[in-house]
Amino acid sequence: QFPFGRRLPCDIYWHGVSFHDSNIFSGQVNKFPGMTETVRKITLSRAMRTMRDLFPLEYNFYPRSWILPEELPLFVAEVRTMKDSNPSWKPTFIVKPDGGCQGDGIYLIKDPSDIRLTGSIQSRPAVVQEYICKPLLVDKLKFDIRLYVLLKSLEPLEIYIAKDGLSRFCTEPYQEPTLKNLHQVFMHLTNYSLNIHSGNFIHSASANTGSKRTFSSILCRLSSRGADVKKLWSDIISLVIKTIIALTPELKVYYQSDIPAGKPGPTCFQILGFDILLMKDLKPVLLEVNANPSMRIEHEQELSPGVFENVPSPVDEKVKVAVIRDTLRLMDPQKKKRKDTQLTLSVLCCRCQSPERAPGASEEPPDAAPGPEAALPSLCLKQVFPKYARHFSYLRLVDRVAALFIRFLGVKGTTKLGPTGFRTFIRNCKLSNSNFSMAAVDILYIDITRRWNSMGIEHKESGMCLQAFVEAFFCLAQKKYKALPLHKQVLSLLELCECRLAALHGKRLVWGCG
């Protein structure tokens, strides 16, 4: 630890909360720039909505969401319409403050009129979602799953999932929401930081008992009941990959802003906490993504009034120590050097060997010693991308839109596209014509940018943000390819833009040579 700053460069920098060090020019940092902002509830909900607009069936694992206060009239209108079309529908909704954590400020409602319209909703925006009323129960208790996901690299995309996670239980038997039990947080909210204050909370002495258990113990229990655990894992892996694909466009914009291409800077990796709920039919539902999941492996125990001590938690230790250990093993900068050294030794050994080597003689150099990995258990982190990339690459349309956005940003270190950059994009891709003049281009830019900048989001600079550019791109695609579904409209426009930009680049190379 360097409380007063450091003088020498490091191989790995481990930051506590977020990426905040502009003096790192090499090595690896355990946080991505902008990750905290990208996984906030509102930004995550917007990213998932964009993907759901493109691929409705692939992104049905995230609850339907509305953003407050800006979408309150829309929320009221849509709920009224659904109730009119189905009078027996009696929904429950959950309201979550955008920047909240550990269950702070979360509450359940039965009707849009129950939203607490105080001054805080303006200063502290929130997301309201459909509440999952029929979760899978174990011992009559609701629980969620905390899975640890390592985003090892953004470009190329590389994702690992821990083979075990935590199951965090409520502390009161679950009942479907009614007006009488809506406020019983120990029944409806699985947050550990809330339930630990319940008199029914049981500190786990083993992996399969208590209020916090290993996910593997739940899987064993489900398997013994005949559940298809392999399919469940497959669905969870799919959920994780699709969520990361939804988040990467925004992350890439932040990344090029903090670590511009061509300048010295670190590479980044990050451990994320995915909170997942299982429905009765074992369908996984994404609740949220945590950019800074707790890695504590102990809890406080009160010995006497006001006197506490830290007691080890066997369940936390089993899962979290393995995640940290194996993250460091995967990111170890010396690992490649050792591999290169071993390869050189092997080549030298082969060259020096006599053709008449005795049968059964060792292939290893005589002084070869087992590496440090030999004493460690097998990796608990399983690579899922690019391993399964061919199943998911077609979903990465917004990634390609973000690449266009970054290309026309112009000034390195910025995250907003100015009007000149937007006009250059239109001109270079030859998207203006008699039906869509450059004056119409300016109006589109002003209208969309003004609306996004009025949404109460914190903006350090003026201009068009990535989400606004994506909306504008979708609008252009819908104008140009009216007969196609949205994802094909966007794909067609992407291919057109990429083709024309490639041709323009080729012409410039020829002009340069000339």
Mean pLDDT on 259-270: 79
Structurally, the chain folds into a number of domains equal to 2
Q: Is residue 84 part of a domain?
A: no
pLDDT of residue 335: 72
Q: How far apart are CA 87 and CA 171, in angstroms?
A: 33
Examine the pLDDT at 408 and tell me if it is beyond 60.
Answer: yes
Mean pLDDT on 242-249: 98
Examine the pLDDT at 362 and tell me if it is beyond 50.
Answer: no
Q: Is residue 400 part of a domain?
A: yes
Give the sign of the dihedral formed by CA 93, CA 98, CA 101, CA 105.
Answer: negative
Mean pLDDT on 341-347: 50
For 431-455, what is each residue's pLDDT tens digit?
998 888 999 999 999 999 999 988 7
Mean pLDDT on 293-309: 83
| Residue 13 tokens, joined | 């920098």
Residues 306 and 421 in one domain: no
Burial of 37 (0-12, 13-18, 19+ CB in 10 A): middle
pLDDT of residue 85: 87
| Residue 391 tokens, joined | 């199943």
Considering 333, 360, 391, which residue would you say is the last residue of a domain?
A: 391
pLDDT of residue 332: 86
Q: How far apart are CA 100 and CA 194, in angstroms?
A: 13
167: left (phi over 0), alpha (psi -120 to 50) or beta: beta
Residue 368: pLDDT band by 50, 70, 90 thresholds? very low
Residues 269 and 147 in one domain: yes
Residues 328 and 426 in one domain: no
Residues 504 and 445 in one domain: yes
Residues 383 and 411 in one domain: no
> 398: which residues sit within 8 A by CB, 6+ positions away?
50, 51, 54, 246, 249, 470
Mean pLDDT on 490-514: 83
State pTM to two decimals.
Answer: 0.89
Q: How far apart are CA 513 and CA 501, in angstroms?
A: 18
* Choice among 115-124, 296-305, 399-408 with the minimum mean pLDDT: 115-124
pLDDT of residue 238: 98
pLDDT of residue 144: 97
For the chain, how far is it from start to end, CA to CA, in angstroms? Answer: 56
> What is the domain extent for residue 465?
396-508
Residues 400 and 387 in one domain: no
Residue 337: pLDDT band by 50, 70, 90 thresholds? low
Q: At what angle do helices 41-54 and 397-407 cross, to 10 degrees?
A: 110
Q: Is residue 89 part of a domain?
A: no
Residues 234 and 299 in one domain: yes
Residues 411 and 486 in one domain: yes
Evaluate the omega torsion of the peptide bond into residue 69 and state whether it is cis, within 30 degrees of 0: yes
Evaluate the omega torsion of the peptide bond into residue 3 and state whether it is cis, within 30 degrees of 0: no
Examine the pLDDT at 103 and tell me if it is beyond 80.
Answer: no
Mean pLDDT on 226-236: 96
In the chain, the percentage of residues whose pLDDT exceeds 90 is: 63
Q: Is residue 351 part of a domain?
A: no
Examine the pLDDT at 361 and tell me if it is beyond 50.
Answer: no
Residues 244 and 314 in one domain: yes
Examine the pLDDT at 469 and tell me if it is beyond 90.
Answer: yes
For the chain, give the mean pLDDT. 87
Examine the pLDDT at 352 and tell me if it is beyond 90.
Answer: no
Residues 167 and 298 in one domain: yes
Could you tell me if 150 and 380 are in contact, meaning their C-beta atoms sit under 8 angstroms apart? no
Considering 335, 366, 391, which residue would you say is the last residue of a domain?
A: 391
* Choice among 149-153, 164-168, 261-265, 368-372 with the minimum mean pLDDT: 368-372
Examine the pLDDT at 355 and tell me if it is beyond 50.
Answer: no
pLDDT of residue 410: 75
Q: Is residue 237 part of a domain?
A: yes
Q: Is residue 5 part of a domain?
A: no
Mean pLDDT on 421-425: 96
Examine the pLDDT at 458 and tell me if it is beyond 70.
Answer: no
Mean pLDDT on 191-202: 90
pLDDT of residue 336: 62
For 37-71, what is each residue's pLDDT tens digit?
999 999 999 999 999 999 999 999 999 999 998 89
Examine the pLDDT at 358 and tell me if it is beyond 60.
Answer: no
Q: How far apart are CA 33 and CA 253, in angstroms?
A: 9
Look up the CATH number of the domain holding residue 421: 1.10.238
pLDDT of residue 363: 43
Q: Which residues face 29 on adjacent strands?
A: 13, 268
Q: How far apart are CA 330 and CA 161, in angstroms?
A: 13
Q: How far apart are CA 455 and CA 330, in angstroms?
A: 40
Examine the pLDDT at 317 and tell me if it is beyond 60.
Answer: yes
Examine the pLDDT at 310 and tell me if it is beyond 80.
Answer: yes
Q: Which residues of 325-345 are buried (b: 16+ CB within 10 A; e: fewer)?
A: ebbeebbbeeeeeeeeeeeee
In the chain, the percentage of residues whose pLDDT exceeds 70 is: 85
Residues 406 and 323 in one domain: no
Examine the pLDDT at 270 and tell me if it is beyond 50.
Answer: yes
Residues 382 and 402 in one domain: no
